Amino acid sequence: MTGSGAGSTFKNSVSTGFGPRAGFSWDVLGNHKTTLRGGYGIYYVREDVGAVDQLSFQAPFIPIVAFATTPGFTLANYFTGTPATNANAVPQAGQLSTAWVPCLAQFTGFVDGLGNPTSDPNQSPTYKSCSGPGLDSTQNLFVLEVPRHFRVPNTQQWNLTLQREFGRSWVLEVGYVGTRGIHLRETRDAIQSVDATKHPITVTDVTTNQSYTITQNSAANAIARTPAPGLNGYSGYQLFANDAYSVYHALQTTLSRRWGQSYFQAAYTFSKNIDATSTGNTAFNTAYNDQSNINASRGISDFNRPHRLSVSYAYDLPFYAHSTGLKHAALGGWQVSGVSIFQTGLPFSIFDSAAGTAFLGAGSTPLLGASLAQGATVSSGLAGGSLKDRLVNGYLNASAFTPAPVFDPTNCAIDPTNFCVTGFGDLGRNVYHGPFQQNWDVSFLKHFKIGERNDVRFAADFFNLWNHTNFADPTVTDVETAGSATSPFGKIIQTNGNPRLIQFSLRWAF
């Protein structure tokens, strides 16, 4: 196998892009009251830690052999010493260390729980990781990989908006806005174990030439089912990929008016945002469920709110506006302003901490979905009744959900340690939304003029004016706890935002 690569990760031919922008504006009726506007553009963004990743995680990957070191080692000497005294030791310049240079794994058979050779392909495989005496072991690596051709993320944006003036200085805008992002960053396990029940795997012992066919998924043979046999990376291999994507479509409307120092604006958005992951976090896997297929992570974005109405205003109160003396000083010249928000609650997923154990090591990712119970539907998973009733009885029907299925229930009952491995749940990302939310913030302001050069502004600010309670999403941390009398699963136990707050302030300008 031959190939070539750039001499430096800074010489990246895929790091640049073509970013055209175009737009138009048309006075439809020629009377300056109806305008049609549109535009399209492609925009790029540099990864915030891309250069650091490319330099520190040089292709093809950086292995960290083991987390545990000889007692007494700290981060200051984590990579010092020799492999004999420290498994993480960096070799001397000009020398190669088998601990840092992965070699082609050579399968040498299966062993049972006592370490005895066995012909059972559901037991633990053994490997000769490199040629040479005393090197018969599995490469247990924690690996971080960055693609050599890491493309710069880009966003395509387009819009078409109709603006119309009518009445006494009222303006109405109605538009369609779309956005599509590609080459977005995501982190996942690139050598997840495969499903041997669908894709049987044949391995051959290099010492005896005996072949074995793996047709079942067990905890012990998971390493033999990875795309890189012999690398115990199904629980410690991370690919910093750039194949995630997003798409946004929205109807955006705005009604506004200005007069003097006063204004009114109401903006309503009906939208839908879909993506493969809503974060580019580099510390934990961001892919959902099946790590080998980014489309398994496709779902409603974590921040999606289908309906959002925002009303903002500022109005000079007319009371005693033309009075004089003390009456005007105390009662005239007041202004009221505020912002009111009405919006759909945030989306959430139903998680199962015990899902995917046939393919992923425990703790490799928390983003694992549960399954619907037999006969249940996504809609039946929501409890009925008013929000008050659902606060008491539960926002979700816990009976509608069940843990991800075990692959082999029969053998699971016989050998729970090895055969109670699970697949992925059938519930995708963010299939539900939390409770509707609203908030009212109002301020009353008054300016007091003292002479020609002094101005004192008094303000009374009311945050959450009506002391309305906004409830957070229900607890869905783990479907494994559903059904317990003390379990919070499916119940709302927290609120969002603050109670009513009142703030008074004085500002003296001179």
Percent share of the chain, pLDDT over 90: 52
For residue 320, pLDDT over 80 is answered with no
More reliable by pLDDT, 160 or 82: 160
Range with the lowest mean pLDDT among 139-153, 315-329, 408-422?
139-153
Query: What average pLDDT does the segment 301-308 reach?
Result: 96
pLDDT reported for residue 195: 94
pLDDT reported for residue 319: 81
pLDDT reported for residue 212: 95
Query: What average pLDDT does the segment 478-487 reach?
Result: 86
| Residue 375 to residues 56, 432, 507, Cα–Cα distance (Å) | 51, 18, 64
pLDDT reported for residue 435: 95
Write out the two tokens for 440: 């009212």
pLDDT reported for residue 24: 97
| Residue 361 to residues 220, 235, 504, Cα–Cα distance (Å) | 11, 4, 55
For residue 56, pLDDT over 80 is answered with no
pLDDT reported for residue 13: 58
Q: DSSP code of 472? A: P
pLDDT reported for residue 332: 78
Q: Give whichever of 256-265, 316-325, 337-346, 477-486 has the largest mean pLDDT.
A: 337-346
Write out the two tokens for 47: 């990864």
For the chain, the C-alpha Rg in angstroms (whole number) is 31
Task: Encode pLDDT of 139-179 as tens digits.
Answer: 455 667 777 677 788 999 999 999 999 887 899 999 999 99
- The amino acid that residue 66 corresponds to is A
pLDDT reported for residue 1: 38
Q: How many whole angstroms separate alpha carbon 301 and alpha carbon 276?
A: 8
| Residue 46 to residues 67, 70, 154, 257, Cα–Cα distance (Å) | 32, 40, 9, 39
Task: Encode pLDDT of 83-100 as tens digits.
Answer: 677 766 777 767 666 555
pLDDT reported for residue 187: 87
pLDDT band at 279 (very low <50, low <70, confident <90, very high): confident
Q: How many whole angstroms separate alpha carbon 188 and alpha carbon 241?
A: 8
Q: How many whole angstroms separate alpha carbon 392 and alpha carbon 380?
A: 18
pLDDT band at 134 (very low <50, low <70, confident <90, very high): very low
The mean pLDDT of the chain is 84
For residue 236, pLDDT over 70 is answered with no
pLDDT reported for residue 285: 82
Provide the pairing of β-strand 470-471 with 495-496: antiparallel
- The amino acid that residue 188 corresponds to is R
pLDDT band at 16 (very low <50, low <70, confident <90, very high): low
Task: Encode pLDDT of 361-392 as tens digits.
Answer: 777 788 899 999 999 999 999 998 898 899 98
Q: Give whichever of 38-42, 47-51, 97-101, 231-235 has the largest mean pLDDT.
A: 38-42
pLDDT reported for residue 217: 95
More reliable by pLDDT, 440 or 127: 440
Query: What average pLDDT does the segment 303-317 reach?
Result: 96
Which of 371, 392, 391 has its CA nearest to residue 381?
A: 371
Query: What average pLDDT does the segment 491-504 reach?
Result: 93
Residue 354, classed as helix, strand or coil, is: coil
The ranges assigned to domains in the chain are 103-138+193-233
Are 226 and 291 contacting, i.e. CB atoms less than 8 angstroms apart? Answer: no
Q: How many whole angstroms separate alpha carbon 54 and alpha carbon 185?
A: 14
For residue 2, pLDDT over 50 is answered with no
Q: How many whole angstroms separate alpha carbon 347 and alpha carbon 365?
A: 20
pLDDT reported for residue 130: 54
Query: What average pLDDT does the segment 23-38 reach?
Result: 94
Range with the lowest mean pLDDT among 91-105, 114-128, 183-197?
91-105
Sequence-ordered list of residues with C-beta below 8 angstroms from that of 122, at least 6 positions apart, any chain: 214, 216, 218, 220, 221, 418, 419
More reliable by pLDDT, 105 or 277: 277
Q: How many whole angstroms separate alpha carbon 197 and alpha carbon 7?
A: 43
Q: How many whole angstroms separate alpha carbon 272 and alpha carbon 112?
A: 52
Are 266 and 309 contacting, i.e. CB atoms less than 8 angstroms apart? Answer: yes
| Residue 491 to residues 44, 385, 397, Cα–Cα distance (Å) | 42, 14, 9
| Residue 319 to residues 108, 323, 330, 388, 444, Cα–Cα distance (Å) | 92, 9, 11, 41, 14
Residue 414, classed as helix, strand or coil, is: helix
Percent share of the chain, pLDDT over 70: 82
Q: How many whole angstroms separate alpha carbon 248 and alpha carbon 269?
A: 12
Sequence-ordered list of residues with C-beta below 8 angstroms from that of 444, at least 6 positions apart, any chain: 334, 335, 336, 459, 460
427, exposed or middle or buried, with CB in 10 Å at 0-12, 13-18, 19+? Answer: buried
For residue 48, pLDDT over 70 is answered with no
| Residue 250 to residues 23, 127, 209, 269, 357, Cα–Cα distance (Å) | 19, 54, 61, 7, 39
Query: What average pLDDT does the segment 320-341 reach?
Result: 83
Q: Cα(first)–Cα(last) distance of the chain, in Å? A: 78
pLDDT reported for residue 458: 93
For residue 78, pLDDT over 70 is answered with no
Are 106 and 206 contacting, i.e. CB atoms less than 8 angstroms apart? Answer: yes
Which of 92, 88, 83, 98 has its CA nearest to residue 65?
A: 88
Q: Give whichever of 163-167, 186-190, 237-241, 369-373 has the largest mean pLDDT.
A: 369-373
Write out the two tokens for 341: 């928000």
For residue 107, pLDDT over 90 is answered with no
For residue 477, pLDDT over 90 is answered with no
